[in-house]
Structure 1
Amino acid sequence: MITLGVEEEIQIIDDQGQLVAHDFSLDFAEANIPEGLMDKEIHRCVIETKTRICRTVPELLSAVRLLRGQARRRAASQGQRILIAGIHPTSAWQQQPLHEGTDFPHYARLIDEYRDVSRSALSFGMHLHLGFAIGAPRMAIMNRLRHVLPEVLALSASSPFFEGRDTGLHSWRHSLLDRYPRMGTPDVWESEQDYQTHVDRLRKVGCLAEDQGLWQDIRLHHRYGTLEVRVMDTHPDLARIGLIVTLLKWEAETLLLELQADRQGPVWSRACIEENKWRARRHGLHTEWIDWSRDSVSSTPEHFERWWSRIAPRAKDATERTYWERQLADALIQGTFADVLRQQAHRQADWHATLEWMAALVGDDIVVPQRVEVC
């Protein structure tokens, strides 16, 4: 069984829809709930939520929903609201206060090292943790799970605007993050030992602190031992999150079975995966995808149909398979949240109205699908 956990970086906004600093030093009655934790991030306008370890996708979505509600109430206790997207469409990073100084040594160290790279990386991501049984070939799975990172980025893309400008991309977030060193698609590693040796060398020469791991699009987590997929933008729709989690979970399960049967295909290079990542960032779900196993290009419907056919046998039963197949079909028709946000901003031609619309999307708890059980 593969266990699941999600982290979300949630934007905190004021009554005008602009990012605002949240004070974590103030007491909040719901500071600890069974569904997970809330924490600060380097920018003070962020609440990071972390779910508990979950065994099914509906269980995970329920935890995400409850933590969003908790974040919403925590923000409301300071006269604030929440907003969920990969980047705030209009706020300027220069105006955002940070957790820095002697009270926050971890963040102070990052700011000292990365300067305006860290100050300007005002982005909001969703991270999925996949937990495996002891002895599972995590590195072999990670090497191949890299292949589908562009696809889940496209499904999550929600950051077309930056400081009030249409960037022309579906995910501008990675334009901010990829300025850090040691970011993006990871290299291929022969084993967990090789990977850990590299991390240890980076720590030895001072590139990483002792308590710090790599920040790439997928990593072997340095404390939890999970495979952490970090490539996704945050997305306001729980149904889309459920689809992304399901696809990644079934892909990991399929890879595990293929490795056990010695049926694994070739591992793609970082350079090849970055080509599809660029297409996902630029065009979202309107792109054409490169299959590097065949050196061929296919449309989004054809590409996702091929992927779906390969992993759908991991469904528990026909009901589950049909449910997520419909969710995928709907997603490919709907496009990205970047598409929707662009249309809304163009239609309203008023940033205040668009920000109010975005805030309303996460203003109430969203019903989680309960009739699909994932084992």
Structure 2
Amino acid sequence: MSVLRGAACQTLLVTQEFTESARSTVGLEWEIMLADPDSGDLVGRAPELLDALEDESAPERHTVTGELLTNTIEVTSGIGDSVAHAIGDIAAAIAAVRATTDPAGIELLSAGSHPFAQWFDQQVTDKGRYHRLIERTQWWGRNMMIWGIHVHIGVEDRDKVMPIIGALTAYLPHLQALASSSPYWAGERTGYASNRALVFQQLPTAGLPWTLQSWSEYERYLDDMVRTGVMADATEVRWDIRPAPRWGTIEVRACDGLSTLTELSSIAAVTQVLVEHFSHQLDAGETLAIMPPWFHRENKWRAARYGMDARLIVDAVGTQRLVRDHVAEMLTDLAPVAVDLGCSTEFAATKKIIDSGASYERQIRVAEASGGDLREVVQHLIREFRSGPGSPVI
């Protein structure tokens, strides 16, 4: 007892401010692969492109930056007052990137993993934080050939942040299933819809969030991690869903790279609607429902393994539902929230993923139709990124 009292009374060395943010605003980040148009293999040419792209994006709402590997660029939106606003930024960023990559003979694609590229052929971007990450994580770090999207939703009151994260964690497997796009890894079919989900959680401080009830508990966690040398600051919290104190947002990081802009808009809309729904409940004085952490862990694995065919545990008593059915119900039940937020079109378009298949399903169909030729899968992803699902080559 005395030890517990001493720990509870210990003065925190680390406290964390939460920036003021307008409620339910939207910010997006999209990691994009650079590929050879003929072979489909990755090309580490980001350094030769980024100086010009970063300068050109400086006066714009969007940004274009580098990432861990030189085969990747990241585009980000400004703070959008709607999903459409943020998506417009991303579309402008992609257009700017293409103005540089098309003349250079570089194609763009997005998925949670590249179907056949090998980790040992890739180069790490020459920045200290990336070299420190690789030095610490070794083989797992060098194998981080993964691409994702991050969705930021503004929260106007930091006391809402941890309760909303606790409730939203129950919907991470739904988002993960909808966005699953990494069925292949280093030339092999993994048997998983999202192999990326299981690879990424190997990094320190990655994976599902701890069950924390308040901002003070989050500060205690940060203090413990910094004091013991686990991380330098809050930016090294790599949870699947985390507070982003610098921006005043909740950041969802569980999703594979989306293969098309329309799918990115749908995932952004679902995330925005869920956060706003939980925020409304808190405003009404309700206590948000949470599930045991062992259910969350099982659901993450099921979504990674089975994607849209996963049966998820959806409440604390263990009720199980097929993710396709549960998402369809959510689209009906929360449609009024989408109307209020002005994202009805993007929210309803999520049904197309249910009906036509998530990216991992489309990739598998292409591979099977081509006798297992993963080069055809890459060409399919290139076409989709340029033109949308089912679109012809242009």
Taking structure 2 as the reference length, the TM-score comes to: 0.85
CA displacement 1:222-280 (0-9 Å, x = unmatched): 42231110000111222222221111111111111111222234322322112111111
Alignment of 1:331-370 (within 5 A): 331-349=353-371, 350-363=373-386
1:42 alignment counterpart: 68
Q: Which moved more, 1:58-67 or 1:19-28?
A: 19-28
Task: Name the counterpart of 1:75.
Answer: 101
Corresponding position of 1:85: 111
**Structure 1 counterpart of 2:7:** none
Using the TM superposition, give the Cα deviation of residue 308 of structure 1 relative to its aligned residue in structure 2, in angstroms.
Answer: 3.0
Q: Do the aligned partners of 1:40 and 1:46 also contact (CA within 8 Å) in 2?
A: yes
Q: Is the 8 A contact 1:35 1:66 kept in 2?
A: no
Q: Distance in 1 between matches of 2:325 and 2:380?
A: 33
Q: Residue in 1 aligned with 2:42?
A: 19
Whether the aligned pair in 1 keeps the contact of 2:269 and 2:343 (CA below 8 Å) is no
Question: How far off its partner does 1:111 sit?
Answer: 1.4
**3-state SS of 2:253 partner:** strand
Q: Distance in 2 between matches of 1:318 and 1:228?
A: 18
354-363 vs 222-231, which deviates more?
354-363
Aligned 1:188-227 pairs, distance under 5 A: 188-210=211-233, 212-227=235-250
* Preserved CA contact (<8 Å) 1:69 1:364: no
Change (3 A) 1:325 1:80: closer
Q: Distance in 2 between matches of 1:155 and 1:224?
A: 26
**Structure 1 residues 77-226: aligned runs within 5 Å:** 77-100=103-126, 104-135=127-158, 137-210=160-233, 212-226=235-249
For residues 143-174 of structure 1, the C-alpha deviation after alignment (integer angstroms, 9 at most, x for no partner) is 11111000001010011000111101110101
Q: In structure 2, what is the equivalent of residue 54 of structure 1?
A: 80
Q: Label 1:198 to 1:257 Cα distance change in 2 as closer, same or farther (>3 A).
A: same
In the TM superposition, residue 319 of structure 1 has moved relative to its aligned partner by: 9.4
Q: Which residue of 2 aligns with 1:371?
A: none
Residue correspondence of structure 1 range 278-293 to structure 2 within 5 A: 278-293=301-316
Q: Quick one: which amino acid aligns to residue 135 of structure 2?
A: D
Structure 1 CA distance for aligned equivalents of residues 275 and 197 of structure 2: 24
Distance 1:148 1:212, change over 3 A: same
What is the deviation of 1:61? 1.6
Deviates more, 1:120-129 or 1:62-71: 62-71
Are residues 1:6 and 2:32 paired? no
Listed as ranges, the gaps of 5+ residues in structure 1 are 367-375
- The answer to whether the 8 Å contact 1:172/1:281 transfers is yes
CA distance in 2, matches of 1:336, 1:176: 20
- Aligned counterparts of 2:335 and 2:238: Cα–Cα separation in 1: 30
- Which residue of the other structure, out of 231, 235, 259, is the alignment partner of 1:236? 259
Query: 8 Å contact 2:260–2:388 — kept in the other structure?
Result: no
Q: How many angstroms apart in 2 are the aligned matches of 1:45 and 1:360?
A: 18
Identify the residue that residue 28 of structure 1 maps to in structure 2: 52
Pair 1:22–1:211, CA change in 2 (3 A)? farther
Asked if 2 retains the 8 angstrom alpha-carbon contact of 1:213 and 1:222, the reply is no
Tell me how far apart the structure 1 counterparts of residues 332 and 276 of structure 2 sit (CA, whole Å). 14
Q: Which amino acid aligns with 1:338?
A: Y
The 5-angstrom pairing of residues 286-305 of structure 1 reads 286-305=309-328
Change (3 A) 1:335 1:362: closer
Amino acid at match of 1:337: S
What do residues 332-374 of structure 1 show as CA deviations (whole Å, max 9, x unaligned)? Answer: 11121100000001112333333222212223599xxxxxxxx
| Structure 2 portions without partners, runs of 5+ | 1-22, 390-394
Q: Would you tell me which structure has more helix in proportion to its own residues?
A: 2
CA contact (8 A) 1:218 1:230 kept: yes
Between the aligned residues of both structures, percent identity stands at 25
CA shift for structure 1 position 141: 1.0
In structure 2, the residue matched to 1:369 is: none
What's the offset of the Cα at 1:282?
A: 0.9
Does structure 1 retain, via aligned residues, the 8 Å contact 2:115–2:377?
no
**Would you say 1:250 and 2:273 are equivalent positions?**
yes
Matched positions, count: 362
Q: Conserved in 1, the CA contact under 8 Å of 2:151 and 2:253?
A: yes
The 2-side partners of 1:53 and 1:318 are apart by 15
